[in-house]
Amino acid sequence: MTKEAKDERRNKILKGLEQAYEKMLDFKRKSNSEIVIIRENKIVKIKP
């Protein structure tokens, strides 16, 4: 696989992850539920 093909695949994956994250945030806002993240090695729940 060439470097250009790897870069293109990487960019597509990152774009897909960004879209999935945005869809998750929209869903969490609509259902008024919390997002669970790790901050400073602690599990934290936040409202979107």
- What 8-state DSSP symbol labels residue 34? -
Q: Give 10-residue mean pLDDT values along the chain (48 residues).
A: 94 98 94 93 92
Domain ranges of the chain: 3-46
Cα 32 to Cα 1, 12, 29: the distances in Å are: 44, 30, 5
Whether 25 contacts 48, CB under 8 Å: yes
Residue 1: its pLDDT value, please?
A: 83
Residue 9: its H or E element: helix 3-31
Instruction: Please check whether residue 22 is in contact with residue 3, taking contact to mean a CB–CB distance below 8 angstroms.
Output: no
Judge if pTM exceeds 0.75.
no
